[in-house]
Amino acid sequence: QAEQEYRQAVQSISELEAQLKQLDVSETETEGTYVQNLSTISDIQVKLEELSVRETEAQQKYLDNLNTISQIRAQLQELDTKEKRLDQKNLESSNQRSNQIQDVKLEIARLEKQVADKSKILSPYAGCVIEIAAARGQVVQPGTQLGTMTVKGQSDGMEGITYFSVKDGKKIQPGMLIQITPDTVKRQRFGGIVGKITSVSPYPVTREGAASVVGNPEVVDNLIGQGGAMIEVYAQLEADYTTFSGYQWSSSDGPDLKISAGTTTTARVRVKERVPISFVLPILREWSGIY
């Protein structure tokens, strides 16, 4: 029994020694694991420090990016403001150019109208040109007579203008009767157109004054001749629509001829009416010496 207990004790000791060896091995492994864990922790700490540095760098980069974004936004806003100002300036410049172009167009139109107006000679009255006194391309002065025309729509008919010597003209008064015979008509056959004197110039008119009325210096020379100053007489022609000419004639119905403005005429004015004996008596008195 004791031997059995001994053997059991020896076996127990062997088992305990085996367990102790196992524990030594476990302790060694644990120590290795611990050392390895310490190394791993050290590595992890190094990585953590690196990550912390990276995080700090990332945060700084993020802040830098935010600052850059803010600057870019400010630049974009400034560019947008500049763009709006430029658009406004371009619009104003465009409007100004449009106004200037419009002004230039209006000025061109005005000048073209001025050229057109000044290149044409227009009469304020409707009528027919019966004579042109100036040649194409001729340089004329203001007031120069360019032509003669008849005016339509004159309800009073034509007016006769006659020039008398001062001696005869002073005997003529407004209201007197006048006979005007166109130079194209024979007085012996048709007589003259009956008219009534409307006005007599109070003073003699010069050749230049007559030319301003008649409009043709050559016609004035034929009317006045070399007599110098003359008395200018205006007469209204009496209308008679039953005659071909439309005017009243002194001794007939007149010729089958239309009388146009600018026709030269010969005129006679009745300044006094006396019975024939009144012309004879002064001669008899002169012969007899009885007054």
Label residues 211-224 b or e (16+ Cβ within 10 Å = b): beebbbeebbeebb
Q: Is 43 exposed, middle or buried (0-12, 13-18, 19+ CB in 10 A)?
A: exposed
Confidence band for 288, pLDDT divided at 50, 70 and 90 = very low
Contact, 160 vs 234, CB < 8 A? yes
* Amino acid 280: pLDDT: 54
Nearest in space to 214 (alpha carbons), one of 139, 159, 176: 159
Strand partners, 131: 148
Q: What is the mean pLDDT of the chain?
A: 80
Give me the percent of the chain exceeding a pLDDT of 70: 85
Overall average pLDDT of the 194-220 stretch? 81
Strand partners, 196: 177, 236
Report the C-alpha gap between 238 and 242 in whole angstroms.
Answer: 12
Overall average pLDDT of the 128-132 stretch? 74
Judge whether residue 287 has pLDDT over 60. Answer: no
Judge whether residue 155 has pLDDT over 60. Answer: no
* Amino acid 265: pLDDT: 85
Confidence band for 258, pLDDT divided at 50, 70 and 90 = confident
Tokens of 144: 């120069």
Overall average pLDDT of the 86-104 stretch? 89
Is 158-278 a CATH 2.40.30 domain? yes
Overall average pLDDT of the 114-122 stretch? 78
Judge whether residue 62 has pLDDT over 60. Answer: yes
